[in-house]
Amino acid sequence: MIQSRLCQEASAPREEDDARNVCQDFAHLAIGCLRALGLAARYVSGYLVPESPSADGPTLVRADASHAWCSVWTPELDWVDFDPSNEGIPRGRHITLAWGRDYGDVSPIKGVILGGGQHTMRVGVEVTAVG
C-alpha cells in the first residue's frame, strides 16, 4: 500500500516524488498498475458516507468531498471495487456516481469559461445516511 499525506488540491500524478496526492492520483496509479498486468480496470467517482464521530476504527479519507477509487474486472465476481486511499475493499460506505476509463470520462463539470478576471468556484456536499 502506498503511504502518503493527502491534500485537498488537485495535482498531476507524481506518486513517486511527492507525498501530497489526492484520491484521484491513487486511483489512476492503481488503474495503471492493474492494466499493466493485463487486467481490465476502471476509474470510479462518487462520495463516501461519513462515519459517526463515535465509530470505532479508522476514519475514511475524503469523507467530506467527492472521492475516487477503482474497479477491476474478474470473470468470477464481475467488477470489484478497490479504494487505494482507504486501503481496501469498500464496505457499503461508497456512493458511486459514475465510472469510466479515467477522470476525463467522469468529470462532474466540463466546459469552457469565457471572460476576464479571476474566477472561483465553491462546492459543498453533505452525505447523510437515510433509514
pLDDT per residue over 16-67, tens digit each? Answer: 545 567 899 999 999 999 999 999 999 999 988 776 655 555 555 555 678 8
Span 60-83, mean pLDDT? 85
Give the DSSP per-residue string, 28-91: HHHHHHHHHTT--EEEEEEEEPPPPTT--SPPPTTTTSEEEEEEEEETTTEEEEEBTTTTB---
What's the topology of domain 5-106?
Answer: C8orf32 fold (3.10.620)
Span 98-111, mean pLDDT? 88
pTM of the model: 0.70
- What's the length of the chain? 131
- Asked whether 84 and 1 are in contact (CB, 8 A), the reply is yes
